[in-house]
Structure 1
Amino acid sequence: MRKLSPNAQLVSDVFDEIAKGNGAPFWAACHQDVVWRTIGESSWSGEFSGKQTIIEEVLRPLNYALAERATIPARIVDGGDVIVLQARGKNLTRDGQRYENDYVFVIHFEDGKIVRYEEYCDTELMARVLPDRIAAKSVSVSK
């Protein structure tokens, strides 16, 4: 078995922790000005810059929408400074629906830090099962 590059090993380690519900290593691996892009046309799609913006615009609404969250890594493609990860979501919405999306994450590194995170998934499933991101954001902020 071929040894992973340092960036691929970091992604592997980070997603092993994410699968356990621990997101802290992901944020530690990110550059302060990281860019998060979710493809598609749903309310969850878009490009968000900076850790704090990503937390407020994506993760807090997602935490509000989901009662249980896990992203299980399946395969890593090691491109050195660009790592591709296939994964499967194992999630449950607060209203009891399963949200089990397939993902491909394209993760760009500079100087050992994640600078760009691109999420490719079934956005039709996302739009059908998850609440509107803006509505979830406003509810999560008011709580």
Structure 2
Amino acid sequence: MSDRNKAALTAANAAIIQGDTEGFLAHCAEDIVWTTVGEDTLNGKAAVREWMSTGYAEAPTFTVSDLVAERDVVIALGTIESKDDEGRPIQNAYADVWRFRDGLMVELRAFVIPT
């Protein structure tokens, strides 16, 4: 199961890089809970879709340095570059803790740190 979940996250990340929001969301459960620690929590696929329409209006670029999986959890460590509201680049390091159910992502706890 761990390898299957890692493969699903890798495919979901590839969709984000290509700007394919629906391709990413195909890997999410309808009841996904998306928490960026210190910020708002998004509840449900529709809320994630809405956030991505502005938060990822321009596809981010990122590098995953490590993927660690055990049981229903995959942890991704890496760096991400996105744009702020004025289009300026923002560099961050991140640790994403994803929980899976039946091959779909059901929970994200994202720890994002400006670099």
Shift in CA distance, 96/53, structure 1 to aligned 2, threshold 3 Å: closer
- The equivalent residue for 2:55 is 62
Structure 2: runs of 5 or more not aligned: none
The CA distance in 1 between the partners of 2:107 and 2:59, in whole Å, is: 26
User: How many correspondences in the alignment?
Assistant: 114
SS in 2 for 1:101: strand
Between Structure 1 and Structure 2, the one with more strand by share is 2
Alpha-carbon RMSD: 2.3
The CA deviation at 1:68 is: 5.3
The CA distance in 2 between the partners of 1:23 and 1:55, in whole Å, is: 7
- The equivalent residue for 1:106 is 97
The CA deviation at 1:96 is: 4.1
Moved over 3 A (4+): none
Q: TM-score, normalised by structure 1?
A: 0.68
Structure 1: runs of 5 or more not aligned: 126-143
Between Structure 1 and Structure 2, the one with more helix by share is 1
- Contact 1:68–1:93 (CA<8 Å) still a contact in 2? no
The CA distance in 2 between the partners of 1:22 and 1:34, in whole Å, is: 18
Percentage of pairs with the same residue: 22
- Contact 2:67–2:76 (CA<8 Å) still a contact in 1? yes
Describe how 1:112-123 pairs up with structure 2 within 5 A.
112-122=103-113
The CA distance in 1 between the partners of 2:11 and 2:53, in whole Å, is: 23
Q: TM-score, normalised by structure 2?
A: 0.82
Describe how 1:42-57 pairs up with structure 2 within 5 A.
45-56=39-50
Shift in CA distance, 63/85, structure 1 to aligned 2, threshold 3 Å: closer
The CA distance in 1 between the partners of 2:16 and 2:59, in whole Å, is: 12
User: What letter is aligned with 2:52?
Assistant: L
- Contact 2:98–2:108 (CA<8 Å) still a contact in 1? yes
- Contact 1:5–1:78 (CA<8 Å) still a contact in 2? yes
The CA deviation at 1:100 is: 1.1
